[in-house]
Structure 1
Amino acid sequence: MRHLRLILSTAALIAPLPAIAATPARCQMAKMLELPVTMNGRSPMVSAKFGDKDARFILDSGAFYSTISRANAAEIGERVQALPPTFRITGIGGDSSAGFITAKNFTLGGVVVPKVDFFVAGSDTGTAGLLGQNILGLADVEYDLPHGVVRLMKTTGCAKINLAYWAGDKPATLVALAAPGPGPWKPHTIGTILLNGVKIRAMFDSGAQSSLVSLAAAKRAGVTPDSPGVIRTGFSRGLGARQVPAWLAPFDTIDIGGEAIRRPRLTISEIGMQDVDMLVGADFFLTHRMFVSNANRALFITYEGGPVFNLTPKGAMSAEGKALDLTNTAPEPTTAEEYSRRGAVLFSNHRVTEALLDFSKACALAPTEGRYFYQRAMARLANRQRDAALGDLAESIRLAPSDPDARIARARLKVSIAPRAEVLDDVKAADRAIAPSSDKRLAVASLYDRLDEPTAALANYDQWLASHPEDSGRASALNGRCWARGLLGTETDKALSDCNAAIRIQPKNPSYLDSRGLIRLRRGELRQALADYDAALAIAPKNPWTLYMRSLVAAKSGDTVKAESDRALALSLDPNVVERARKIGL
């Protein structure tokens, strides 16, 4: 095995790795199953079926077992069987209770499996669920996401052999994988890498949309949220019910099995797993081809080109100083589906112009398949071609009128520019198309809210919350339901309870404080309403709606100076707040 360095503004090479002898004559390799992968953003998606019902899963090498949410179990009609209360599944955002289902006639890669178990746990991913190591760990596995495919492989007699059979003259690096732990579970893909020269345990997790370093490991490597150059980016979410704060941080070096990169920028946050320091996520998988030898506990990696760890290398160089040819030598696609998959990889790597060419070829080869037009619409939207994106969404909807994704996307684009009735048609169509427990009910509820349909919004929040008892989206949904009741001016006790629950989860969210201010104003609790609006404005001081609402509370409390000041500032920021307040009786 050889070392590799990426050519950046500053590049470094770390200590050499002993060569691995290649003796292919005694090594036998056979493909068991090939799974086409289509990227959806940074999520690798594979198609499957429960009976005759289509399903799309995130291919998640970081999941120790295949998992679906309780809402999706209900959607496919499977009875959830209980597991002991002490059995908890842990991930980003905490842990979750779990049950399991036994799915009958599950189809994956064209192969029908009469019975297969899934854990039922955790936050809804917006997909059927996660395909984990109980499937991916059945044999060896090749992750070739740059070319849109994953293969389950069977090898014999391949100990101490370089299994990056595709590499040719390209350097292939090696990460030794941790031995399996006790118990019946298939082992994770975990190895030791170097971060700022410090050894850390990294899980290679295709289900993580970006690579993530734990706060504890980052601190060992000399980086904290208060370090120079670290910026707050928002929240991370995963299987658990909480969203956790996240930061983007610069590091000096990272070395993964001999691939050395200077100045990577990595997200740091809570991971929630005691024996893992870093998740090497889909951003790495999209630019590397990897062979996991579960039999020999070894991971073989080649760099295939493209952005990695928030950097865009100009190229790659071997340890001998030879520039590598990273030209994609894969055969040119011949079918619409192949162009679609390649375009999705390009789009995920932010190569939007090239992705558009592939999506256009897919549309031309299969002009009656609506999802290719949807893919092109999303790429055109990223390319700031709004009108062209709307045209593609119109064609996608014409071909598949009940597709909720296209309906929701078009409604979001048109909600502020098109006639209300036109947008409402799309939202109602999506509402009819999705299952009662669908994760898309949050998006539908939000759109109903923007269209001044609080009764319909409330019904969707009710359905989502009932089917998602442990989900990281609950705070947003609770706030939405509180707000809908606030607009209606009804059930203020229930509304206050929802807002309080949302604020307990995210105490400093100004939107949640604003919602509770409305409820307290409806209840005549002026002092408490003023406190909520004050707290919201301390975080977001130029929100015109919150300013206007505080002016109303101040006026009712007899503070005319504060009322006039807040009202004047609110109207200078958004003159429409008066009409908005009038619509809800304020």
Structure 2
Amino acid sequence: MKRCAIRTGAAVLAMALAGPAMAACKVGKIAELPVTLIGQRAMVQAKFGDRPTQFILDSGAFYSTISRATAAEFKLEDKALPPWFRVTGVNGDATASAAVARNFSLAGIALPKVDFIVAGTDTGTAGLIGQNILGLADVEYDLPHGTVRLLKVQGCADTALAYWAQGKPFSTLKLEAGNGGPWKPPTVATVLVNGVKLRAEFDTGAQTTVMTLSAAKRAGITPNSPGVVQVGRGSGLGSREVRTWLAPFEQIDIGGEIVPRPKLRISDIHMNADMLIGFDFFLTHRVFVSNVQHMLYMTYEGGSVFGINPSGARTTSGEKLDLTDSAAAPTDAEGYARRGAVEMSRQHMAEGLADFDKAVAMAPTEGRYLVLRAQARLANRQLLLAAADLDKAATLMPNDPDVRLSRASLRLANHDPDGAAEEVAAADTLLAPGSDRRLRLAGLYDSLDKPEAAIANYDAWLKLHGQDADRAVAYNGRCWARATQGRDLDKALSDCNTALRLRPGTAAYLDSRALVNLRLNKLDAALDDYDAALKGRPHDAWILYARSIAASRAGRADQAAADRKAALAINPNIAKRATRYGLER
């Protein structure tokens, strides 16, 4: 049994609560922000005027940030910042401007004036709530219970502030102080990984804990170390993708909380800290960040952390760690919905769905709860039940484009192109011209063989997303749409080349460029691209069939016959697709 050893500081808390210093210590709640966990993100509801939206709570963002598309959608004036001002993320940097919202509310709390940095990659939400709001005072991240609290602390200089611990073990970390400038400092402290001191930033916006390659090397781990496996690529604020590996370490020590044999992601990212301690950590901990004391207090609340599930957790003295949840059970639909979202983030499907059932039963006319249950049912592969929830949500939220897009995707998956086309057309009328969801909409149009509409949406998206990490997807999509039509082939080739510069060797992009070259009768170039694409997708029926056409036109009859036979063995109907594109008669 794997164990998580935690050095206890409970006695410190007990003395502080009992001593005279506590009488002078006052903690007042400024605001409580209900948080809904969706996947590996902490989301909070917001409004620009009367228009609802949602933000990611991101303790790693030095300032609240929105994309250019969000600023345009909500009609915020976008003013340029000096050329030297650039916003830096884990995967690069981006130019920035500024916008002011004067009719903004967060979790129902009206904020008369909020400044936003306008920069970077779309997040699938309106943007990020950063340290200009979260760092105004002390803040408690209670993601295991779906809440973040902004707190005003007075007279507590010598008081341990893990007030909820009530005798349970808790850990403390000394935080770095800011430089006194205009920007609120990030939450940074020193932790030990394999006994090596590393500078760690506690970042709710990072979906998983991740370490730089240079820091991992100092701790004795490289991508070539035993047990290290590549797990793909990631992106963030900038436009560059980065490679990521999952690596085993001996232990990580966070303020005396010792996790043996953790599995941590390492990546070729560049940032001011050595590592980001991300959402996966916050999901299993209750964390109080005192910007007044420059201290962090935390308790382990149970669940899988850093790739292990320390169900038999004990303190360093051998005492069994009490993980009894002292939080009161929900009493309303919102409480059940938030708890259900927490359970889903923990991959507790049955518990999460049960809570969503209660939320829907208590508030049957609130479409948002139906959407949350639909997402949970999709994750649990209950497609018909998810579709029923989305149908009900659409009647309650007829002007919600996300509901329409989700219904379109489900109908496509259920081989209902006419129904999907209706939902896509409805979403198209609801979305703002430069909305980040237009990229998804363009892909749906492409799946419905509507290349003109796809191109129009790729154009609209690219106009406001010149530095977005998903630019390659848009360039490839526009290239493919033009290639299937056989029009504007020079522009199509330029788009495919741009996509491949951004993400070299991507099989889907090579396939798109191969089709352009086939249309241009550049047969050697087409065959080279199809050959390269098949290295990544050796059993792709379409690529094999398209290569057979190119080989036939190039006079390579044997190869053409072999490819055609292999393609038809995988998908007997693949020839119809070539006929639809006008490649065969």
Give the 5 Å matches for 1:377-526. Answer: 377-526=374-523
Once the 2 structures are TM-superposed, how far is the Cα of residue 10 of structure 1 from its aligned partner? 5.1
Query: Match for residue 241 of structure 2?
Result: 243
Q: Does 1:42 align with 2:40?
A: yes
Q: Name which of structure 1's ranges 315-324 and 519-528 shifts more when overlaid on structure 2.
A: 315-324
Query: Match for residue 190 of structure 2?
Result: 192
Q: Would you say the 8 A contact 1:33–1:109 is kept in 2?
A: no
Relative to structure 1, the CA distance from residue 49 to residue 208 in structure 2 (aligned partners, 3 Å threshold; closer, same or farther) is same
Q: Would you say the 8 A contact 2:337–2:355 is kept in 1?
A: yes
Once the 2 structures are TM-superposed, how far is the Cα of residue 51 of structure 1 from its aligned partner? 2.2
| 2:113 aligned counterpart, secondary structure | strand
Give the 5 Å matches for 1:28-427. Answer: 28-181=26-179, 183-273=181-271, 275-427=272-424
Query: Match for residue 573 of structure 2?
Result: 576
Q: Name which of structure 1's ranges 146-155 and 229-238 shifts more when overlaid on structure 2.
A: 229-238
What one-letter code is carried by the residue in structure 1 that aligns with 2:384?
A: D
Relative to structure 1, the CA distance from residue 416 to residue 47 in structure 2 (aligned partners, 3 Å threshold; closer, same or farther) is closer
After superposition, the C-alpha distances for 1:385-408 in whole angstroms (9 at most, x for unaligned) are 222222212212222223222222
What one-letter code is carried by the residue in structure 2 that aligns with 1:296?
A: Q
Query: Match for residue 530 of structure 1?
Result: 527
Q: Would you say the 8 A contact 2:174–2:189 is kept in 1?
A: yes
Q: Would you say the 8 A contact 2:333–2:359 is kept in 1?
A: yes
Q: Would you say the 8 A contact 1:82–1:98 is kept in 2?
A: yes
Q: Would you say the 8 A contact 1:495–1:519 is kept in 2?
A: yes
| 1:102 aligned counterpart, secondary structure | strand
Distance 2:110 2:124 in 1: 24
Query: Match for residue 4 of structure 1?
Result: none
Q: Would you say the 8 A contact 1:148–1:342 is kept in 2?
A: yes
Distance 2:204 2:530 in 1: 42
Q: Would you say the 8 A contact 1:38–1:45 is kept in 2?
A: yes
Distance 1:234 1:397 in 2: 35
What one-letter code is carried by the residue in structure 2 that aligns with 1:209?
A: Q
Q: Would you say the 8 A contact 1:17–1:258 is kept in 2?
A: no
How much is the aligned-residue C-alpha RMSD, in angstroms? 1.7
What one-letter code is carried by the residue in structure 1 that aligns with 2:268?
A: E
Q: Name which of structure 1's ranges 355-364 and 408-417 shifts more when overlaid on structure 2.
A: 408-417
Distance 2:555 2:248 in 1: 52
| 2:281 aligned counterpart, secondary structure | helix
| 2:313 aligned counterpart, secondary structure | strand
Q: Report % sequence identity.
A: 55
Relative to structure 1, the CA distance from residue 394 to residue 51 in structure 2 (aligned partners, 3 Å threshold; closer, same or farther) is closer
Once the 2 structures are TM-superposed, how far is the Cα of residue 13 of structure 1 from its aligned partner? 6.2
What one-letter code is carried by the residue in structure 2 that aligns with 1:221?
A: A
Relative to structure 1, the CA distance from residue 14 to residue 299 in structure 2 (aligned partners, 3 Å threshold; closer, same or farther) is closer
Once the 2 structures are TM-superposed, how far is the Cα of residue 539 of structure 1 from its aligned partner? 2.4
After superposition, the C-alpha distances for 1:274-297 in whole angstroms (9 at most, x for unaligned) are x20111111111111111010111
Once the 2 structures are TM-superposed, how far is the Cα of residue 364 of structure 1 from its aligned partner? 0.3
Once the 2 structures are TM-superposed, how far is the Cα of residue 16 of structure 1 from its aligned partner? 9.2
After superposition, the C-alpha distances for 1:545-572 in whole angstroms (9 at most, x for unaligned) are 1111111111000010111111111111
Distance 2:540 2:224 in 1: 28
Q: Would you say the 8 A contact 1:407–1:427 is kept in 2?
A: yes
Once the 2 structures are TM-superposed, how far is the Cα of residue 493 of structure 1 from its aligned partner? 0.9
After superposition, the C-alpha distances for 1:519-542 in whole angstroms (9 at most, x for unaligned) are 111111111111111111122222
Q: Name which of structure 1's ranges 316-325 and 201-210 shifts more when overlaid on structure 2.
A: 316-325
| 2:221 aligned counterpart, secondary structure | coil
Q: Name which of structure 1's ranges 525-534 and 397-406 shifts more when overlaid on structure 2.
A: 397-406
Distance 1:353 1:119 in 2: 40
After superposition, the C-alpha distances for 1:372-421 in whole angstroms (9 at most, x for unaligned) are 11111111122222222222122122222232222222222231433321
Distance 2:542 2:454 in 1: 20
Distance 1:189 1:559 in 2: 63
Q: 1:9 aligns with which of 2, 15, 35?
A: 2
After superposition, the C-alpha distances for 1:21-46 in whole angstroms (9 at most, x for unaligned) are 62422211111111111112111111
Q: Would you say the 8 A contact 1:90–1:272 is kept in 2?
A: no
Q: Would you say the 8 A contact 2:10–2:169 is kept in 1?
A: no
Relative to structure 1, the CA distance from residue 267 to residue 19 in structure 2 (aligned partners, 3 Å threshold; closer, same or farther) is same
Once the 2 structures are TM-superposed, how far is the Cα of residue 115 of structure 1 from its aligned partner? 1.8
Distance 1:72 1:11 in 2: 43
Once the 2 structures are TM-superposed, how far is the Cα of residue 18 of structure 1 from its aligned partner? 10
Once the 2 structures are TM-superposed, how far is the Cα of residue 92 of structure 1 from its aligned partner? 2.0
When normalised by structure 2's length, the TM-score is: 0.96
Q: Name which of structure 1's ranges 570-579 and 92-101 shifts more when overlaid on structure 2.
A: 570-579
Q: Name which of structure 1's ranges 483-492 and 530-539 shifts more when overlaid on structure 2.
A: 530-539
Relative to structure 1, the CA distance from residue 223 to residue 310 in structure 2 (aligned partners, 3 Å threshold; closer, same or farther) is same
Distance 1:538 1:253 in 2: 38
Q: Would you say the 8 A contact 2:541–2:567 is kept in 1?
A: yes
What one-letter code is carried by the residue in structure 2 that aligns with 1:397?
A: A
| 1:127 aligned counterpart, secondary structure | coil
What one-letter code is carried by the residue in structure 2 that aligns with 1:9?
A: K
Distance 2:279 2:195 in 1: 23
What one-letter code is carried by the residue in structure 2 that aligns with 1:265?
A: K
Once the 2 structures are TM-superposed, how far is the Cα of residue 17 of structure 1 from its aligned partner? 11
Q: Name which of structure 1's ranges 235-244 and 317-326 shifts more when overlaid on structure 2.
A: 317-326
Q: Would you say the 8 A contact 2:55–2:126 is kept in 1?
A: yes
What one-letter code is carried by the residue in structure 1 that aligns with 2:421?
A: L
What one-letter code is carried by the residue in structure 1 that aligns with 2:295?
A: A
- For structure 1, the residue ranges without an aligned partner over 5 or more in a row are 1-7
Distance 1:435 1:61 in 2: 28
Once the 2 structures are TM-superposed, how far is the Cα of residue 185 of structure 1 from its aligned partner? 0.5
Q: Would you say the 8 A contact 1:305–1:315 is kept in 2?
A: no
Q: Does 1:541 align with 2:538?
A: yes
Once the 2 structures are TM-superposed, how far is the Cα of residue 163 of structure 1 from its aligned partner? 0.3
| 2:258 aligned counterpart, secondary structure | strand
Query: Match for residue 5 of structure 1?
Result: none
Distance 1:16 1:375 in 2: 38
Q: Would you say the 8 A contact 1:92–1:236 is kept in 2?
A: no
Q: Name which of structure 1's ranges 491-500 and 264-273 shifts more when overlaid on structure 2.
A: 264-273
Relative to structure 1, the CA distance from residue 206 to residue 11 in structure 2 (aligned partners, 3 Å threshold; closer, same or farther) is closer
Distance 2:157 2:548 in 1: 74
Distance 2:515 2:107 in 1: 52
After superposition, the C-alpha distances for 1:155-214 in whole angstroms (9 at most, x for unaligned) are 112123210000011111001101213521101000000111111111100111111111
Q: Would you say the 8 A contact 1:122–1:239 is kept in 2?
A: yes
What one-letter code is carried by the residue in structure 2 that aligns with 1:279?
A: L
Equivalent pairs counted in the alignment come to: 578
Distance 2:181 2:268 in 1: 26
| 1:415 aligned counterpart, secondary structure | helix
After superposition, the C-alpha distances for 1:353-387 in whole angstroms (9 at most, x for unaligned) are 10001100010011111121111111112222222
